[in-house]
Amino acid sequence: MRTSAYYLLALVAISAARPQYSPPSRSETSKCTNYNDCSPTGSRRHGYKHNRPEHGPYTAGGGYLQPTSVPTYGAAPPSGYQQLASASPYGGGGGGASGSPTAGGGSGDPSATSIAGPAQSSAAPLTTSGNATIGSGKVALPAGCESKNGIGIGWLPDSEDGSSLTGIISALGGVKPCWAGYYAQITGSTWDGSQLTSKVAEVKAGGAPYPIFVASVQPYIDFSAVPAMASQITTVMNELTSQGLTVWLRFAHEMNWYDSAAGGDVYKGTPQEFSTAWGAVSDAVKGNPNVLMFWSPNYGTASQLQSEGWYPSSGDIDVIGIDVYSEDATKTFANAYGGFCNGFGNIPFVIGETGSDSASADKTNWLEQLTSTEAKTNCPNYLGFSWFEYNKDGTDFRVATGGNAEAQSVLGTSSS
């Protein structure tokens, strides 16, 4: 079941206007650390520049899933994945007419009626003709994957520098993550996706059910050239799913950062050209039910992202996220993510990447914030996060490998 994107127009009225100003110069370690500080033309953003094609952008306590502790939605999930029997945290199961993120017969409260599933297949989707649609019946997390307080945990492993997925799993007592994320760049008119397909064996090493494969595909070409590449992207996604994997396609993530001079101008084109590219890729992969579209900007409010055109006006959006990092122990989940996720309250929210390059105590605090019960209270649509387990040119984000043990102290080392 899919719904419209432009219901978000209603959010403009309730989002406080922010002054526009030119950003001051940033050091490479400057990151968007507070939702309220992340304006579209200034303030703090994480600005690590990608510098190796096999790696991601140069950006950057115990408890595991019980049988029904992670929300899943809609029709029966793939084999090995679990579906929640209780109510969805997203509000109604369709039929709403207000255009609100929580419309559709529910208030957005966890006790509200659930998203339409097999028993509610006749419920009308939330929709506004002509704009992007939002998947709301397909998100499922792997049964038994790593979690705390019902919040799924995933990793972006730096396989080339020793922080492999298998090493992370071993450090945490053998419990598999919910997500495993990898990066790939399109740099010309042909693309074979080998940066992604080469990671299949690593993702499958622990056996089924496998982690969800988050494919962060970065178009280092003009956005206007992407539609002609859509079939090649689809071929790679199909190759991944043919190996028994569920794939979340995190296409052109941080599109509102990498298009800027501060972000290296590695993305080329206007927001409208991005939207067209998104729609073309979405349409190309939609025939594969095991590929979901994951929209993951770097910063901004719902109204800002929409008014600037970065929220796609075509194609499908199944999962949303935003990349915010922490720099000190004063950061909380609410001030980093609360405004964004609540602005998209009907869509599953997963943090595509996050981390901390600060002291051990700050990393511990950030892990505790990400897995806190307050996080679910602030963002009922929050499903989990992926940690950026990289050591990039001396900037150490790692919490589970390389002698770092913050993850073990917060997340535990065995299933409970």
Q: Which residues are catalytically annotated?
A: 254, 353
Phi, psi values for residue 330, rounded to 5° = -90, -10
Strand order in the sheet with 2-4: 2-4, 133-135, 316-317
Q: What is the 3-state secondary structure (H, E, C) of 128-185?
A: CCCCCEEECCCCCCECCCEEECCEEEEEEEEHHHCECHHHHHHHCCCCCCCEEEEEEE
Tokens of 283: 């349409």
Give the list of residues 6+ apart from residue 252 with CB closer than 8 angstroms, or none.
217, 218, 219, 223, 258, 267, 274, 277, 278
Rounded to an integer, what distance in angstroms lies between the CA atom of residue 47 and that of residue 102?
A: 33
Give the list of residues 6+ apart from residue 137 with CB closer than 8 angstroms, or none.
1, 73, 74, 75, 115, 116, 117
CB 290 within 8 A of CB 245: yes
Rounded to an integer, what distance in angstroms lies between the CA atom of residue 85 and that of residue 12?
A: 34
Q: How far is CA 293 from CA 172, 213, 372, 378, in A?
A: 29, 12, 27, 24
